[in-house]
């Protein structure tokens, strides 16, 4: 239990950790105020025993009791605020820290399998820490402190009862430790089920169109239902695992209280303890039971707190790319790849590629699916680091740049566009948040999206759904191009930007791309003939290698993948029903 508490304290930043320690220090004072109730009762009891109940006894007891209650109220208010601030602030800061950390993780880390885990940690796990951890830490630490103070009072009254109480606390601690060991298996299983449920929900929602299209609603719903039941199983079985231990802890505290009362009465009968002390021991037994009993239920959650901390720390422990470079403004934007090799999960994807891309030229990359086209462009922009070889921009290795200064040189238009749940204007000015509205409109006009934006209910202030769900594919593409125009980077990477666009949008999208790419270095991945035949150079990638390279006319004179690619496309276009 103490190990899990320490891990949570270490997880918090220094400011919030200091608040926690301050709250614990105040908790000691609160426990002393709580123990003053024993003194108040002792004053009244002494008056009754002496058959001399004077006003000073009554008022003295009331004064002590009032001081105890007031002190507990004030300190409880302060400690609760400190611990809530520390808990919520820590989780808020950790979310931000995780987000900042993920900025510099290799793009290979982000895949369909990791998204559920990341989402679960940054939402459910952090929310659980904010809500549960603070309460657990507050109750358990206060229970420990109150128990310690009351035990000290008992030793002052009678060391024999103090030893008996210490033995009872020892048995309680032994059972609690056994419970922590039991939850060591259950808590990770519960958190795993939680991650898988989040991933299943995301997959079901994002793929609902395909699910309905192929009439797989029933089977996919069963997968989601299975994840929900696994979460239910994890939660209920964790409860079932700890219930016997919580019961044993409660039995131990009650038996300890009974023994304290019985032994104190026996000591009084045989004359080795005064009646006043006997009554004080009995009252102390109930106060000990109260503090330990409250702590028993919450201590079962300590392991879950530890698991939450471990999951967040796991993401933060993933090595970042080395981003501590220089702020470089290259004299030109030539891109050169020197014998680069890249492997992911022991599978070689790029193997010994050499390529020169002069600035202000257009390079088209084509090839079979899975050949490494997208990976190659990702290596140019340092979304991943090459295993061997060099990637140069303007004569400088991309590893020499700071990550932000390197990104200033690149703009991207992907096949799958993601727009944020915000206004259209803010989505366009995403890379330049303070850009004036005039600049936003200018970029939108160049991207051929001004007209359809003005037809929306609130124009540029229209809030679009998450992922741009309320817009068509072509509209989303043009907004992403407007975003890239706003950034005005010298190198533009187009990854299948027109692959899934309907003919009505394609003409407008082509014009938007022409505005974006004017006087730029263009690197495009494309499957459509008319988007590549006018390129300055065409690079054919297959199985991670460059198998052909040249202009359209040159490659058409060679037997190979490119000529087959062009001929197949022409046959497909000319085919009629």
What pLDDT is stored for residue 338 in this prediction?
A: 92
Give 134-158 as a DSSP string.
HHHHHHHHHHHHHHHHHHHHHHHH-
Residues of the chain with pLDDT under 70: 1-4, 50-57, 107-116, 133-134, 184-188, 190-191, 194-195, 198-199, 202-220, 233, 294, 296-304, 323, 345, 466-470, 496-510, 516, 527-531, 571-577
Burial of residue 8 (number of CB atoms within 10 Å: 0-12, 13-18, 19+): buried
Q: Which token pair is 407? A: 């990104």
Residues whose CB is less than 8 angstroms from the CB of residue 473 and which lie 6 or more positions away in sequence, other chains included = 417, 500, 501, 502, 505
Region at 423 (left for phi over 0; alpha for psi -120 to 50; beta for the rest): beta
Domains of the chain: 2-316 (1.20.1560.10), 339-406+522-577 (3.40.50.300)
Helix (H, G, I), strand (E, B) or coil at 412: strand
> Do residues 404 and 489 touch, judged by C-beta distance below 8 A?
no
Give the dihedral of Cα atoms 111, 117, 120, 121; nearest 10 deg: -110
In angstroms, rounded to a whole number, what is the distance separating the alpha carbons of residues 481 and 447? 6
In angstroms, rounded to a whole number, what is the distance separating the alpha carbons of residues 365 and 350? 14
If you search the block for the tokens 């029903």, which residue do you land on? Answer: 577
What pLDDT is stored for residue 54 in this prediction?
A: 67
Strand 545-550: give its sheet, edge to edge: 410-414, 491-495, 521-525, 362-366, 537-542, 545-550
> Do residues 12 and 133 touch, judged by C-beta distance below 8 A?
no
DSSP-assigned beta bridge partners for residue 521: 491
CB burial readout 145-171, b (16+ within 10 A) else e: bbbebbbebbeebbebbbebbeebbeb
What pLDDT is stored for residue 98 in this prediction?
A: 82
Cβ–Cβ contacts within 10 Å for residue 69, how many?
15
In the chain, the N- to C-terminal Cα span, in Å, equals: 73
In angstroms, rounded to a whole number, what is the distance separating the alpha carbons of residues 191 and 123? 12
What pLDDT is stored for residue 577 in this prediction?
A: 47
What pLDDT is stored for residue 218 in this prediction?
A: 63
Q: Which token pair is 504? A: 């009505």
* 217-273 confidence digits (pLDDT tens): 666 677 777 777 777 767 777 777 777 887 888 888 888 888 988 998 999 899 888
For strand 335-344 and strand 347-357, is the pairing parallel, antiparallel, or unpaired?
Answer: antiparallel
- How far is Cα of residue 19 from the mean position of the Cα atoms in its chain? 23
């Amino acid at each position: 239990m103490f190990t899990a508490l320490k891990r949570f304290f270490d997880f918090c930043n220094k400011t919030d950790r200091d608040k926690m320690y301050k709250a614990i220090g105040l908790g000691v004072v609160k426990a002393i105020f709580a123990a003053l109730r024993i003194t108040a009762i002792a004053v009244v009891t002494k008056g009754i025993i002496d058959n001399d109940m004077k006003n000073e006894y009554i008022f003295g007891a009331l004064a002590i009791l009032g001081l105890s209650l007031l002190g507990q109220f004030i300190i409880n208010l302060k400690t609760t605020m400190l611990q809530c601030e520390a808990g919520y602030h820590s989780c808020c800061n950790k979310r931000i820290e995780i987000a900042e950390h993920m900025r510099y993780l290799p793009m290979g880390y982000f895949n369909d399998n990791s998204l559920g885990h990341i989402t679960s940690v940054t939402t459910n796990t952090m929310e659980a820490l904010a809500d549960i951890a603070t309460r657990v830490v507050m109750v358990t630490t206060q229970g420990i402190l109150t128990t310690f103070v009351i035990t000290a009072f008992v030793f002052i009254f009678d060391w024999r009862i103090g030893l008996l109480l210490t033995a009872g606390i020892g048995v309680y601690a032994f059972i609690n430790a056994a419970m922590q060991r039991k939850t060591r298996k259950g808590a990770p299983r519960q958190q795993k089920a939680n991650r898988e449920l989040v991933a299943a929900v995301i997959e079901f929602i994002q793929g609902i169109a395909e699910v309905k299209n192929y009439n797989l609603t029933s089977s996919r719903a069963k997968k989601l239902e299975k994840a929900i039941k696994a979460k239910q199983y994890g939660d209920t079985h964790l409860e079932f695992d700890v219930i016997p231990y919580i019961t044993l802890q409660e039995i131990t505290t009650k038996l300890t209280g009974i023994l304290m009362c019985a032994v104190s009465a026996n000591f009084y009968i045989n004359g080795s303890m005064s009646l006043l002390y006997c009554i004080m021991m009995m009252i102390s037994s109930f106060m000990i039971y109260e503090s330990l009993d409250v702590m028993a239920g919450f201590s079962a959650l300590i392991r879950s707190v530890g698991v939450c901390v471990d999951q967040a720390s796991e993401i933060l422990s993933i090595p970042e790319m080395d981003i501590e470079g220089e702020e470089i403004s290259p004299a030109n934007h030539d891109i050169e790849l020197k014998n680069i090799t890249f492997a992911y999960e022991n599978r070689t994807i790029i193997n010994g590629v050499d390529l020169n891309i002069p600035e202000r030229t257009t390079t088209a990359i084509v090839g079979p699916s899975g050949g490494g086209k997208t990976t190659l462009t990702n290596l140019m922009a340092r979304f991943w680091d090459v295993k061997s070889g060099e990637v140069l921009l303007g004569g400088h290795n991309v590893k020499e740049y700071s990550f932000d200064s390197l990104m200033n040189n690149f703009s991207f238009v992907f096949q799958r566009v993601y727009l944020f749940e915000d206004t259209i204007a803010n989505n366009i000015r995403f890379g330049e948040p303070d850009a004036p509205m005039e600049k936003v409109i200018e970029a939108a006009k160049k991207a051929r999206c001004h007209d359809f934006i003005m037809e929306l209910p609130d124009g540029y202030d229209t809030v679009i759904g998450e992922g741009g769900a309320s817009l068509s594919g072509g509209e989303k593409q043009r907004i992403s191009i407007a975003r890239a125009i706003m950034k005005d980077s010298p190198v533009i990477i187009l990854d299948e930007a027109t692959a899934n666009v309907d003919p009505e949008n394609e003409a407008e999208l082509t014009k938007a791309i022409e505005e974006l790419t004017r006087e730029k270095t263009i690197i495009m991945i494309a499957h459509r003939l008319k988007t590549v035949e006018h390129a300055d150079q065409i690079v054919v990638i297959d199985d991670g290698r460059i198998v052909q390279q040249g202009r359209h006319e040159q490659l058409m004179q060679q037997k190979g993948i490119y000529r087959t690619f062009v001929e197949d496309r022409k046959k497909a276009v000319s085919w009629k029903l």
